[in-house]
Chain A
Amino acid sequence: MSMIKTYLGLLAPVLLLVLAGCASSSPEPEPQVEAPVVTEAVQEVVVEIEPIKPMVSGGRVIIPLDELDASAGSRTLAGVFYFDFDQAIVRRDGHAELDQHAMVLAGNSGLTVRLEGHADERGTREYNLALGERRANAVQSYLLSQGASRSQIEVVSYGEEKPAMSGHDQASWEKNRRVEIVYR
């Protein structure tokens, strides 16, 4: 499952701790007692961790909160972005999350995503297929502008054929006008 590999690199630099003697500023020098020089070898263990990479699970990308500390946990990026009726403009409230996706893609050229565009049931099916594609294209443009590569992104539109909610009301329609980011 986990692709995180932890290498225990044992680099053992020897640290020399030298305790120097104290010097007195007194004009009358006290008889100097030569302090014994203690030399102690301390073996320090340095653990080198390979940065934890974003991971794909169930079509979602899971990114570590701290790339160097697995115990810091991870978070799954939201994979669904919503749109207004007959609109294909990426809403401002989705920008921060999309920036994260772009960062993940830009930093991991091996990752690919499929942007699946959807529409609500209102309007005609073929127009909605076109609208779904426009929405997915809008998300693609955003990701490209933020550093993702075209070769990492595939766009497909399902129009109104695959609703997330089956209701015939505003609440369902809002949830159905969307683009889903599916990592592969």
Chain B
Amino acid sequence: MMLKALLMIVLVLAMTPAHSELQIEVTQGADDAVKIAVVPFDWRGRGALPEEIHEIVTADLRLSGRFETLPVSQMLSLPSEASEVYVRDWQLLDMEYVVIGSVREYGPDLAMTFELFDVFKGEVTLRQTVVGSDLDLRDLAHHASDAIYEQLTGIEGAFSTEILYITVTETPSGRVFRLNVADADGYRVRTVLQSREPILSGTWAPDGDRIAYVSFERDSRPAIYIHNIRDRTRQQVTDFRGLNGAPAFSPDGKKLAMVLSKDGNPEIYILSLEETPRRLRRVTRHYGIDTEPSWSADGESIIFTSNRGGQPQIYSMRLDDLEVERLTFEGDYNARAVLANNGQGLIMVHRRKGIFHISYLDLKRGFLRVLTETALDESPSIAPNDSSLIYATQVGGRGILAGVSIDGGVRFNLPATEGDVREPAWSPRKKKSFTPLEEDLKLTSEIE
């Protein structure tokens, strides 16, 4: 039975560039935003660069909500290395930091150097040179954003990550569902699957290369697929009668938790992916609805939604002895919880007074913080650095993505140019990593 379902299918579906891109707009910035100026990078190679590094870095920093950026038109000088920085120019503009840099030809590739200049101290506190191809320019820019963000906030940046999401467009011949992957800033959208039947519950494997999702493409029945978005292959992993849903990779990527109703009732199962034949273990046994499993960071327990108490609430379960504990008590509908990467808390869909919010539950101290104020918020996904989360909401009758920092201080929207956007999932890893070329040039914050 399973063997048939495990057939490897090479996807004929090309990753077509999608026509819609997400446009990020900050709706609420941090109160104590850091003032920073990103100067246009110097380029002395042939022709023009296809991307402007400073524009990408400026957008990244501004959209994090923690920075206030300076438009180039207001800059008094445009230095490209530390020796050219005239401190008074930036003091006059009330800037705290200046980012300067250059791009040079480096064999067939490009070398990007960037420096973070502390205006108050009058010195460079971070300097790196990284190399990539001309196709990597956006990745190089996001790398710079990550490094600057980490230097100034102490938190690893998440600008080099990706977002998986689903769009639904109404066409004269019916609904079209698309599963898209885009950079975290909404650029470079690719459609990995398109169908007239529902696609949902997209989720990442910890390797950042594979995703799992539910698609109704076969005979209008649900099945779970694992899809490698880099080499564009996929396999159908389930083909059971009834529900085949809510896939979630274990932290080591070797198991997939899911919901099946093949035994008559929605229960949570764990499929071992690396054993032959694959083994399926049922871990819940209750006549209520058990769904939406999510793993703890150590892979030894899961949390899930169950209405065994009458209403949907969040429960946790240890996988060794299957001991269940209820985690949520506030609100009459708590569902689709995911644990923060540090295990300290969880984010979930939480209803109070008939309104669905995204809320954060601090598991250590037991308090619950409502993070979003709109009415139909769902599908929260947390950034790999735990700094913020992205979720789906409705604005003007249309589904859009929105984000909020975990402290609730920064808010942004990512409206798409067309269709409904839903179910964002933040990738667990950077799309591309770069090692600084000359380690000795990297100044660290030891100076502070």
Binding site for B on A (CB under 8 A): 86, 121-127, 129-131, 133-134, 155-159, 161-162, 166-168
The range of chain B's interface size is 35 or more
Query: Which of A122, A127, A156 is the one whose CB lies under 8 Å from B305?
Result: A127
Q: Are A125 and B423 in contact (CB under 8 A)?
A: yes
Q: Do B336 and A124 have beta carbons less than 8 Å apart?
A: yes
Contact between A126 and B292 (Cβ–Cβ < 8 Å)? yes
Does any Cβ of A come within 8 Å of B228's Cβ? Answer: no
- For residue B332, give the distance in angstroms from its CB to the closest CB of chain A: 9
Q: Pick the contact of A126 from B220, B242, B246, B397 — CB < 8 Å?
A: B246
A157-B243 in contact given A124-B305, A162-B198 (Cβ < 8 Å): yes
Residue from B175, B200, B307, B336 having most chain A Cβ neighbours under 10 A: B200
Q: 10 new A-B pairs (CB below 8 Å) besides A125-B336, A127-B307?
A: A124-B378, A126-B291, A127-B305, A127-B336, A129-B243, A130-B259, A130-B266, A133-B243, A156-B222, A157-B243
Taking the closest CB of chain B, its distance from the CB of A133, in whole angstroms, is 6
**Cβ-defined contact, A127 with B289, below 8 A:** yes
**Could you tell me the distance in whole angstroms from the C-beta of A132 to the nearest C-beta in chain B?**
9
Q: Are B397 and A130 in contact (CB under 8 A)?
A: no
Determine the chain A residues whose CB is within 8 A of the CB of B312 once the complex forms: 86, 123, 127
In the bound assembly, the distance between CA atoms of A135 and B417 in angstroms comes to: 36
Complex contact B242–A155 (CB within 8 A): yes
Q: Is the interface of B mostly helix, strand, loop or mixed?
A: strand
- Residues of A with C-beta under 8 A to B289: 127, 130-131, 134
Chain B 191-204 per-residue mask, 1 if CB under 8 angstroms from chain A, else 0:
00000001011000
Residues from chain A with Cβ under 8 Å of B349 in the complex: 123-124
Tell me the smallest distance from the CB of A112 to a CB of chain B, in Å: 14
> A123, A126, A159, A161 — which one has the most chain B CB atoms within 10 A of its CB?
A126
Inter-chain CA distance A86–B310, complex, in Å, is: 10
**A127 adjacent to B198 (CB under 8 Å):** no
Are A133 and B261 also in contact (CB < 8 A) when A124-B335, A124-B379 are? Answer: yes
Q: Which residue of chain B has its CB nearest to the CB of A169? A: B397
Known A127-B336, A161-B198; judge A122-B356 contact (CB<8 A): yes
What residue in chain A is nearest B375 (Cβ atoms)?
A168
> CB within 8 Å of A: which of B320-362?
333, 335-336, 349, 351, 356
**Separation of A86 and B266 alpha carbons in the complex (Å):** 15
Is B376 in contact with chain A by the CB < 8 A criterion?
Answer: yes
Q: Least Cβ distance of B312 to chain A in Å?
A: 6
CA distance A25 to B243 in the complex (A): 88
Contacts of B201 in A (CB 8 A): 125-126
Q: Are B221 and A156 in contact (CB under 8 A)?
A: yes
B200 close to A168 (CB less than 8 A): no
Q: What are 5 inter-chain pairs, A to B, with CB distance below 8 A?
A: A86-B311, A121-B376, A123-B351, A123-B356, A127-B289
- A157–B376 alpha-carbon span in the complex (Å): 21
Min Cβ gap B442→A in Å is 44
- Alpha-carbon separation in the docked complex, A131 to B333 (Å): 14
A121, B375: Cα distance in complex, Å: 11
A157-B243, A161-B198 are known contacts. Are A124 and B376 too (CB-CB below 8 A)?
no
Which residues from chain B contact A124 at a C-beta distance below 8 Å? 292, 305, 335-336, 349, 378-379
User: Whole-angstrom distance from the CB of A167 to the nearest CB of chain B?
Assistant: 8
Q: Measured between alpha carbons, how far is A123 from B356 in the docked complex, in Å?
A: 7
Is B419 interfacial (CB-CB < 8 Å)?
A: no
A158 neighbours in B (Cβ, 8 Å) = 198, 216
Could you tell me the distance in whole angstroms from the C-beta of A153 to the nearest C-beta in chain B?
Answer: 12
* Chain A residue contacts of B259, Cβ below 8 A: 126, 130
Contacts of A133 in B (CB 8 A): 242-243, 261, 266
Q: Which of A86, A123, A130, A159 contacts B261 (CB 8 A)?
A: A130
Q: Tell me which residues across on chain A come within 8 A of B246, comparing CB atoms.
A: 126
Q: Smallest Cβ distance from B223 to chain A, in angstroms?
A: 12
Q: How many angstroms between the C-alpha atoms of A125 and B423 in the bound complex?
A: 9
Chain A residues within an 8 Å CB radius of B423: 125
* A127 and B243 in contact, given A158-B198, A162-B198, A168-B394 (Cβ under 8 angstroms): no
**B243 contacts A125, C-beta separation under 8 Å:** no
How far is it, in angstroms, between the C-alpha of A124 and the C-alpha of B335 when the chains are bound?
A: 7
B245 within 8 A of A: yes
Q: Which residues of B contact A161 (CB under 8 A)?
A: 198, 200, 216
Query: Distance (Å) between the CB of B94 and the closest chain A CB?
Result: 44
A161 nearest CB neighbor, chain B only = B198
The answer for the CA separation of A129 and B198 in the assembled complex, in Å, is 11
* Min CB–CB distance B313 → chain A (angstroms): 11
Give the nearest-CB partner of A136 in chain B: B242
Encoded as 1 (CB less than 8 Å from any A CB) or 0, chain B from 396 to 417 comes to 0100000000000000000000
CB-defined contacts of B175 to chain A, threshold 8 Å: 162
User: Which among A122, A125, A159 is the interface contact of B379 at CB below 8 angstroms?
Assistant: A125
CB–CB A125/B200 < 8 A: yes
Chain B: CB-nearest residue to A155: B242
Measured between alpha carbons, how far is A96 from B333 in the docked complex, in Å?
A: 33
Max chain B Cβ within 10 angstroms of own Cβ: one of A122, A127, A168: A127
Known interface pairs A124-B378, A127-B291; A168-B220 also in contact (CB < 8 Å):
no
CA distance A108 to B441 in the complex (A): 82
Most chain A beta carbons < 10 A, residue from B170, B245, B259, B333: B245
Residues of B contacting A127 with CB < 8 Å?
A: 289, 291-292, 305, 307, 312, 335-336
Chain B residues, Cβ within 8 Å of A121? 376
B214 to chain A, nearest CB (A): 8
Chain A residue at minimal CB-CB distance from B420: A166
| A contact residues around B245 at 8 Å (CB) | 126, 129-130
